Amino acid sequence: MKRILYALAAFALGAAAAGAAPKPHYDVAPPGQVVQDTAAYLTGEGMNSAWHVVASRKMIGKQMGKTPVYQWYLSFYAPAQNGGKLVYQLPNEGHELLSRVTKAHGAPLYFPQQDLKIVGAAEFEKSGVEQVVVWDHQSGADCGAADVTVFGANAKGQVEQSVHVENGCSLEAKIVKHGNLSAVHLSGPYYGPKAPMCCPTKPKASATLAYANGAWSVNPNYYIISASLAAHR
């Protein structure tokens, strides 16, 4: 009986190992500890055409000597002959989306506090080509701001921000079906034109971020699409 159990256990382990996806080889390793590694067909589906989008973080200190503080990174790897080639990474010199966490002068404090998550990949603009949805939150002394950004790749294989939405304090995102394609469901507080951060006009609101007729839109218009991703920092 023991031999049978051992054989079954060995078979299960072998099957699991055979079914596990091989770890991609990257020409430049993601900084720190990898938290998420998402495959996406940013330039269309085909043999060996999957990109990899990696969220990683590196501990740079402890807030007041207690709570760990992390610098987050977002890395895009294009498919290459020997694995993945790094073509785009945040934070960068353009100050897009992610800030560099810095230590306050003369005190064990770090700003901004940040978090990041890859929501997922889906077809938003056209069938067969995917884009990646990324959420992040950064804060200083107040509740900060949350971003939801859809990334894609152009015809030259360059990573670009397709659309970006920012909201005070918080904003959550999830991918949902939208006709034959997908859209992003947004939820969080809605602030009217004169509403202070303490007092949202509608504490619990939701809207759909979708692409149609050559443009992205938010419906209802609770959250504002940024004209320029780099301009909001």
pLDDT per residue as tens digits for the range 88-115: 999 998 777 899 999 998 888 999 999 9
* CA quadruple 125, 126, 132, 138: dihedral, nearest 10: 0
Helix (H, G, I), strand (E, B) or coil at 194: coil
pLDDT at 10 over 70: no
pLDDT of residue 175: 98
pTM: 0.87
pLDDT at 61 over 90: yes
Query: Mean pLDDT for the chain?
Result: 88
Residue type, 45: E
Close Cβ partners of 23 (under 8 Å, ≥ 6 residues apart): none
